[in-house]
Every structure is written in C-alpha cells, then in structure tokens.
A and B are shown apart, each in its own frame.
Chain A
Amino acid sequence: MMSMIRVSTKINGDAVAFLCETDETLLDVLRDRLGLTGSKEGCGTGDCGACSVTLDGRVVCSCLVLGAEAEGRAIGTVEGIASGDTLHPLQAKFLEFAALQCGVCTPGFLVAAKALLERNPDPTESEIRFGLAGNLCRCTGYDKIVRAVQAAAVEMRKG
C-alpha cells in the first residue's frame, strides 16, 4: 500500500481535511472519501467533463487532478452551487427549460456554465457552445442546455 498523505483544502467554502493515496484522483477523493457523489466519472480520461469542478475558480476535470493537488486550494463542486435552499439561476433555468433528461452530465454542465458566465456575462450562442464543448451530453442534443444558459445569463445580468 502506498503511504497516505494528509490534505487540507476548502470545498464549497468549508474547510476540509482528508487522507488519500498519492495516486488517487480528486474525483475519487470527492466521491469515495468525502461522499460528494455529485461529480460523476464518465470516462476517467478528461474527455467528457462529467467530473468538472472548479479549482481556485478555474474549471478542471477532477479525474485529471490528484487529490494531493487540492492542498491549500479552493474547490467548487455542484453541491456548492445553490445557496441554502435557493437554487442558482442556472439550476432554475435548467429545470425550466428541460435542459436535462437523464441528468448525469448536469453537474458538470452547471459547474462549467457557471464559470463561463462569471467570465463572460453576455456570451453569444457560439461562445456558449464552444465554452461548453468540454462537456458531453448524450440525451439532449444541447439545444435546451444552450437556451437555459442564455436565459440564466439574462437573469444574472439583471442582478
């Protein structure tokens, strides 16, 4: 057994400490050690985006980040997007626009779309499509996802 290392980090604003193997991915840590199963493993090779989280505000595939790399950083997962019992506009619009069918890609999309809109509050359709090209969806054909992001952007710009 490889030796475990102790990691101190912040997840969705809360201080968290965990032990993990040196070769364990952040995705495995989140899901198997911390019980945060919202981030999904769709491929394990960084091709599908279902495991998307933010690392110091930047969207990454957590299957390509080591658990150890979380040391001293701030991580954002889908579980932290809502505020208490109030959904984020993106979450509300995804529901309103039926932008999910099976829902397994939805956490990754929400993380990526939130980061996109924080960077670019008034994106064109093309900017949304290219900005979310790292997230695969097999159910929707992306039409309703794009419309939901557009609607959320409008709502968020209203403040």
Chain B
Amino acid sequence: MPLDAKLDPATHHFRLVGTRPLRPDGVDKVTGRARFGADASAPGMLVARILRSPHAHARIRAIDTTKAARLPGVKAIVTSADFQPGDPAIHDVLCNVMARDKALYDGHAVAAVAAVSAAIARKALKLIKVDYEVLPHVTDVDEAMKPGAPLLHHGMKTENVEPAPKKASNVASRCEFGHGDPEVGFKQADVVVERRFKTEATHQGYIEPHACLASVGSDGQGELWVCTQGHYMVRNTCAALIGMDVSKLRVTASEIGGGFGGKTTVFIEPVALALSRKAGKPVKLVMSREEVFRASGPTSSSSIDVKIGVTRAGRITGALADIRMQGGAFAGSPVELGAMSAFACYDLEHVKAVGWDVVTNRPKQAAYRAPGAPMVAFAVESVLDELAHKIGMDPVELRLKNAAKEGTQSSYGPKYKRIGLGECLEAARQHPHYKAPLGKNQGRGIAAGFWFNFGGQTCVSLNVNIDGTVVLAVGTPDIGGSRASMCMIAAEELGIEYDKVRAIVADTSSLGYNDISEGSRVTFSTGLATIAAARDAIGKLTARAAKTWGISPDAVVWENGHARPSSPNAGDFAPLSLAEIAKTAGSTGGPIAGHYEVNAGGAGVSFAVHMADAEVDPETGRVHITRYTVVQDAGKAVHPSYVEGQFQGGAAQGIGWAINEEYFYGQDGRLQNPGFLDYRIPVASDLPMIDTVIVEVPNPGHPYGVRGVGETSIVPPLAAIANAVSAAAGVRLTELPMSPPRVLAAIDGAVAKKKPRS
C-alpha cells in the first residue's frame, strides 16, 4: 500500500495501534539494567572536570595551566586554544562550549582537565590560574535593552530593523508576524485590555545530568557514549568543533534520563573528546547538578505586552503583542516561535506580534518543550480571561467564538488544514471538571494552547530474522517510550504479534542520518518511516512467495501476516506466513529487509485546552493545585498510555513553572539557586491526579493521522493556572512564578487599592 493511501482512522480497525502493550525496554528500566549516560565505563578511563567562570561577565586576560599540568595524575588539559573556529553557523556553540576572550555568564566553561581520579581532577582545577578582568553585567531582559546597558558583543547590531542601527547593543534582532492592522481592530472593539507580563527563566529539570564517555585513538577515530536527544547532531557538531571526519566518530545514544529540549545541543561532549584525544585515553565527563543549572541551557525569561480588543458579542477585533526574550549570552532566544505562536489559536483579521531577541549574562538557552510558546500563551490567555469576565462571557465560549479552524489564516502565515481546537474546547466544556463546584479561596482557570510539531530527516531499517521475528533499527533516541509505538506500528503493518518486533536505537555508524528527537517529531516521522519500511519489506516478502509459487508478484497480496495469491485464478497455494518465508530466505534470495529514508513533511499542528483549579491561602500566598484536566488533540494515539504520559508530564512542568520554579540571580550576577532544594520542581505531594482527554482529529499528512503530542501540553498550563489563581485570589497575577511572596504582594496591593482613603 502506498504511504499516502488514506486509511480513514475513524473507520479503519487497528489491531495494535491504540492498545496499551508493555514497552520493550521496560524490564531493563525497572531492574536497573538500563544504561544511561553516566553508566558506562572503559578500561584506563580518566575522569574530567570543567573549570567555570565565577563571574557573570569578565575578559579572560590569561590562563596559566602549568601548575595543574605538573600535578601527578593529570593527563590532559584543554582551553579555547584547543578548539579552532571553523563553521560560522556553530561559532556560538563553540564559544559556549569553551569561553574564548570573555566569560559571558556565571558558570561559563573556561578550561577542562582529565585526570586519573575525580579527586585529582578537582585539585587540578584549583591550580589553574585565570586572570579575569571583571566587567559590569546585566541579567534582566528589559535592563539589557536599555541604552548604556553593559554590552556583551561589540559587533552585535540589531537585525531586521530599518534603518539599520549604527551602534552595537544587546538586541540581536527583531521579528514581526501577523496581518491586518491591530489599531484598526481596536477601534472596532467595545472593550480593550492591555497588560504587561513577566516570566522568569526556568530549567527543563531532567533528573539525569549531562554525561558522556569519549574515547579517541591516535588514529583520530573516536567513539562517544552520550545521553542526548540527537546523537547524529552530536556527531556532526563535535566532529566540526574538534576537527574530525564525521565518519571517524561513532556516537552511541545511551538511554536518556529526560531531555525536554535541553539535550538537543552539545555542552561537554566536544570537551570530553578533545581531552581524550590529547590524553590518548577514554575520558568520562559528567555534569554535577549545580553545573546543569548554571551552565546547560535553561529557557528564556520574558517581558511581554499584550493588547486585545473584543466586541460585547465576544468577537476579537484586534490583537497585539510585544515580546522581549533573553536567550542568555548568545543570540537565539525562542522569541520568533513565541511571536509566531502567540495568537495561533484564533481566527483574526487584525493581528501583530513583535519579538525582540536580547542577550544577557546568563547561560545560552536551549529548547524547552514548545520553546517560546508557554510564556506568550500565558500573556495572551490571561488577557482573554480578563476580557471574558469584562463582557460577562464564559471563557470557553469566548474562545469558541474566535477559534481557528480549517481554512483560517494563522497569525504566523499559512492557512490551517484540518485541526482540532474546536473539538478540544467542546470536550473541555463537556467535561465534569468544568462544572464541578469550587470551595473557599478556590478559583478555576482555562487556557488554550498551540504547537507546530515538525517532521525532519529520518530513516529506519527493518530486518526480518530467520525465525520470523523482526528487528527495527531507528535513529531517534527514545525520550518518551517511542520504541513501544514503533514496535506496534511495525507489527500492525506486517500483521504479526507485537512481541515479535524489537526496536533498537542504532548508533551513528549503523544507520543513516536522523534529525534530533525534538519538535514532537518521533512518533510522526519515525512512525511514518517505519510504516514505509514495513511496506517495503512486505513487497520483498510477497516477491519471495511469488517466486516460490512460480507466479507473478502482482498476483500476491499480503494479509494478516501472510502472503497469499490474490485470487483463485493466480493459483491454489496455501498462504505463507512471514516466519515461513523468513526461514527459507537464505535460499530464495538472501536476507529480507525493508528500509526508508525521508525528510518527513506533513506534520500536523496540535491544540490543547487545560482546566486548572487552584486554592490560594490568603495568609501565606501559597497556591495549591486541587484539580487539573488536559484535553489535547493527538490526531491518532498509537499508545494511549504514553500519550497520556506526555499530557501529564507537560502539565506538571507547566505547573512548576507557574507557581514555583525560577532562576534567582544575585546582584553579583551569579545564580543563587543551582540545586533542586531551592529550584523547586513539583513533587508527588504537590499535585493532584491529572485527568486526560485524548481528542483525535486525524492529521491529513500521516497514514494513521498521527500528530505530535510531546510539546503542546506545556503551552496552556501557565495561563490556566494564572487564571485560576487570579480568580481565587481576586486579583490578576501577571508575573511568574506565582510564588507565595508574589501572590501575597498582589493580594496586599489589591486590598490597599480597595481601602477608602481616610
């Protein structure tokens, strides 16, 4: 069957897709057998440690490593001198991996040591003398934009501004999306609300710190074991940064203990490889938790102005957003994605979102699950909530009246194909949560959210074994349980039992290039490639049966895991099972395999609606989430348990972001809370059960209708909770996180405003 043959997911009966079998890598993970980034070791292995700047901003005048090099047990030391600039596209990555002329944030890597033990490596770091010239620093996004702010890059002149600026600044670029003219729209409105919102930087918070084991031989060939979302990206980037042929570096993706976007780039891997090459020994390099917070890639902090106007009948007539995000010390905050997704849920005639990408003395940001979208949704959905109250309209009703649907021109450009926002809103409205009674000091909030979802370069190889079992080699690290889904898909297509298929994540030398596991792309792209590879294998299996029977391959069909003649005219032959054909493969032509290589397009956007109930303690300002429901369009849920898991996980991260998590920078520009004690992510006692509703509006671009699910679930929570807290506290909260001091300040401020002047 061709790949674009449309199954009607509404009527097609799937045998396995949509069921909940046990994951194939499960037993390893519950017995401690599964090997993660830090679980590998090699004979003669050295341990590496990185020396990091204690200053938020400083010129590096000199680095003296002589004393450290003389310490017995030290086998190699590297600094920026060991990394040569090359490809301008990854120059920022190079500078972030190892500081060159300036340390740009507290924690910026300055040098690294490989030694026979961790103790000696730590001692060696202390012997490295760095001559810093401390410079003024800036960590707040709005402060960094002001004239006279400490300047990070002397060559940075804001792009996409006319006329082009003559002076350097901390503003890397501007972007603008939308159509129509919001000022025209506001004139048509009966009610207009304009608000400023601020969010602080948060971290993806994966429990497994970055870790790798590098081994480079004197022939320049290397192996790298690493926890990553994209081992091919790691291979290509490291090879470029340390000057190695791509084919000479073999990267194996370990099991990964969480990524959420934070492991879609390199931090320590080029350093480990460079040290290993110098020392001629394997080098293990693991980040401490403190290093993860200080020097991996948190998300951006933001400052956002939103103005929306509606008619009393509930129609949005104009929408405007000005979004400022700082992405750390290098250009590349997700402000473009934020500006593009800001109003993506709505059908608007007059809409404009402007974004500013700002640099500050903070670590270089990395992607965090729907990068840029949660902060902007917080702002937009909060204003919509206020407008709904002002015109006395139910908040779901207001959104339904303006919801984007098939054919709507999105605020970021293209017209939507078939989408499921309306279905999600209706499902939310029908859900028992929506009408459940609320207690004292409790409030309910809802919010909608959107994410693009992507395809990308993908290939798989499907090999049929002599006993009729199948091994599927994929190239996308399993960050959410995707191996289970891939086995289900392959078994579905081939017509065999689920446990006859095993999926492995191949290393970079064993399978062709695969893009990173990001953008909610794996079930869509690797799934699509698996379907195609299975169909490719079926073509070969039927051809073998045809040969065996001496008939034309056109006269053979594949059904229920068997090849059979397409009609009685073709011949009277008993069907041959996959196992039977596999058994004689050696004699009928050799190994049987299917494969598929593609740059997958056709990913479908997805929408979600979240409902949150919050209780606010008016004396302490503490927020407690008492009930939470996620409604999200998955297109087609291959393994519903893991789809639910994505919904719940994204919601939990959003809850933490909304009420507890933030990066605290001191006056000295140093991160004050680089640990799980003071960077407080939700624990089991903080959360209620998280109810989920999987809506399935098929994506026309996928054979089964699959849409990405991993990221959309983090987009609505910030606003849903802010709306719930604002309702409970009786005052609008506009700054995240809504930690007790902020909530109390807002409550006290509102009380003070209400007090009559004596």
Q: Real complex partners, A and B? A: yes
A96's closest neighbor in chain B, by CB? B22
Most chain B Cβ neighbours within 10 Å, of A38, A44, A101, A147: A101
Residue-wise, chain A 113-151 has the 8 Å CB interface mask toward B (1 for contact) of 000000000000110111011111111111111110000
Interface residues on A, range: 35 or more
Q: Mark A1-21, 1 if CB is under 8 A from B, else 0.
A: 110000000000000000001
> A87–B33 Cα gap in the complex (Å)?
13
**9 pairs of A and B residues whose beta carbons are closest in the complex:** A38-B32, A104-B257, A141-B652, A103-B29, A98-B641, A47-B676, A141-B648, A78-B32, A43-B289
Knowing A38-B33, A43-B675, A45-B675 touch, does A98 contact B20 (C-beta < 8 A)?
Answer: yes
The 25 listed contacts between A and B (C-beta, < 8 Å) are A2-B119, A31-B39, A40-B208, A42-B289, A43-B676, A47-B676, A50-B207, A78-B31, A81-B31, A87-B27, A87-B31, A95-B26, A95-B27, A95-B30, A100-B26, A100-B30, A102-B257, A102-B479, A107-B32, A130-B684, A133-B685, A139-B649, A142-B687, A143-B690, A144-B644
Cβ–Cβ < 8 Å partners of B27 in chain A: 87, 91, 95
**What string of 1s and 0s marks CB contacts (under 8 Å) between B93-125 and chain A?**
000000000000000000000000001000000
| CB within 8 Å for A136 and B676 given contacts A102-B208, A130-B685, A145-B684 | yes
Among B36, B289, B480, B681, point to the contact of A138 (Cβ < 8 A): B681
B680's nearest neighbour on chain A, judged by CB, is: A47
Asked whether A45 and B677 contact (CB < 8 A) given A87-B30, A95-B22, A146-B689, the answer is yes
List 16 additional A-B contacts (Cβ < 8 Å) besides A96-B22, A102-B256: A1-B119, A2-B119, A32-B41, A40-B207, A43-B675, A45-B677, A50-B207, A87-B31, A91-B30, A95-B27, A98-B645, A100-B26, A102-B255, A136-B207, A140-B652, A141-B682
- The number of chain B residues with a CB under 8 A from chain A is 56
List A contacts of B206 (CB < 8 A). Answer: 102, 104, 138
Q: Chain B 204-243 against A: per-residue CB contact (8 Å), 1 yes, 0 no?
A: 1111110000000000000000000000000000000000
A36 within 8 A of B: yes
Q: For A127, give the chain B residue with the smallest CB separation.
A: B685
Is the Cβ of B481 less than 8 Å from the Cβ of A101?
yes
Which of B648, B685, B687 has the most CB atoms of chain A within a 10 A radius of its CB? B685
In the complex, the answer to whether A48 meets B676 with C-beta atoms within 8 Å is: yes
Contact A136-B681, Cβ < 8 Å, known A38-B32, A44-B289, A103-B257: yes
> How many Å from the CB of A54 to the closest CB on chain B?
14
Cβ–Cβ contact A40 & B36, under 8 A: yes
Distance between Cα atoms of A53 and B658 in the complex (Å): 32
B residues within 8 A CB of A102?
A: 206-208, 255-259, 479-480
Whether a CB of chain A sits under 8 angstroms from the CB of B34 is yes
Closest Cβ neighbor of B292 among chain A residues: A43
B30, A110: Cβ atoms under 8 Å?
Answer: yes
A2 to B257, CA, bound (A): 33
User: A138–B258 contact, CB under 8 A?
Assistant: yes
Which one, B29, B38, B207, B690, contacts A48 given CB within 8 A? B207
B255/A42 in contact, CB under 8 A: no
Shortest Cβ distance from residue A109 to the other chain B in the assembled complex, whole angstroms:
9
Distance from B684 Cβ to chain A, minimum over Cβ atoms (Å): 4
A1 partner residues in chain B, CB cutoff 8 A: 119
Q: Inside 8 A of B675's CB, which chain A residues have their CB?
A: 43, 45, 47
Q: Which residues of A contact B682 (CB under 8 A)?
A: 141-142
In the assembly, what is the distance between CA of A79 and CA of B258, in Å?
Answer: 21
Measured between beta carbons, the chain B residues less than 8 angstroms from A39 are 32
A137 to B204, CA, bound (A): 12
- Distance of B71 from chain A, by nearest CB (Å): 12
**CB-CB under 8 A for A136 and B683, given A40-B207, A50-B207, A81-B31:** yes
Known contacts A102-B258, A103-B255: A129-B32 contact under CB 8 Å: no
Partner among B204, B207, B645 whose Cβ is within 8 Å of the Cβ of A105: B207
Chain A residues with CB below 8 A from B260, complex form: 138
Q: How far is the CA of A77 from the CA of B32 in the complex (A)?
A: 9
Interface contact B289-A129, CB-CB below 8 Å: no
Tell me which residues from 668 to 727 in chain B have a Cβ below 8 Å from any Cβ of chain A.
675-677, 681-685, 687, 689-690
B685 touches A40 (CB 8 A): no
Determine if B288 is an interface residue (Cβ-Cβ < 8 Å).
yes
Q: Enumerate chain A residues within 8 angstroms of B204, measured Cβ to Cβ.
A: 138
Q: Which residues of B contact A77 (CB under 8 A)?
A: 32
- Taking a contact as CB atoms closer than 8 A, the residue among B20, B30, B648, B651 that contacts A94 in the complex is B30
Q: Is the interface of A mostly helix, strand, loop or mixed?
A: loop
> Measured between alpha carbons, how far is A95 from B20 in the docked complex, in Å?
11
Assuming the contacts A98-B481, A101-B481, asked whether A44 and B29 have C-beta atoms less than 8 A apart, the reply is: no
- The A-contacting residues of B in range 4-28, CB under 8 angstroms, are 20, 22-23, 25-27
Q: State whether the Cβ of B653 lies closer than 8 Å to any Cβ in chain A.
A: yes
Cβ B689 vs Cβ A143 within 8 A = yes
Residues in B neighbouring A137, C-beta threshold 8 A: 207, 684
B431 at the binding interface (Cβ < 8 Å): no
Task: Please tell me which one of the listed residues B23, B205, B289, B652 contacts residue A142 in the complex, with CB atoms under 8 A apart.
Answer: B652
How long is the Cα–Cα vector from A78 to B39 in the complex, in angstroms?
15
Q: A95-B26, A101-B642, A104-B208 are in contact. Are A146 and B684 (CB under 8 A)?
A: yes
Q: Which residue of A lies closest to B38 (CB)?
A: A41
**A42 and B479 contacting across the interface, CB-CB below 8 Å:** no
In the complex formed, the residue of A with least CB distance to B211 is: A41
Q: Please state if B30 and A79 are interface contacts (CB–CB under 8 Å).
A: no
Tell me the complex Cα distance, A31–B40, Å.
10
CB interface residues, A 37-93, toward B, < 8 Å: 37-45, 47-48, 50, 77-79, 81-82, 87, 91
Assess whether B681 is in contact with A79, with CB atoms less than 8 Å apart: no
What separation, in Å, do the CA atoms of A134 and B651 have in the docked complex? 20
Greatest chain B CB density within 10 A among A105, A134, A137 is at A137
Q: Is the CB of B677 within 8 A of A47?
A: yes
Contact B645 A139 (CB under 8 A): yes
CA distance A95 to B652 in the complex (A): 21
Would you call B35 an interface residue if the criterion is a C-beta within 8 Å of the partner chain's C-beta atoms? Answer: yes
Inter-chain CA distance A110–B26, complex, in Å, is: 13
Give the distance in Å from the alpha carbon of A153 to the alpha carbon of B137 in the complex: 54
Q: Give the distance to chain A from B379, nearest Cβ to Cβ, in Å.
A: 24
User: Is the beta-carbon distance between A138 and B685 smaller than 8 angstroms?
Assistant: no
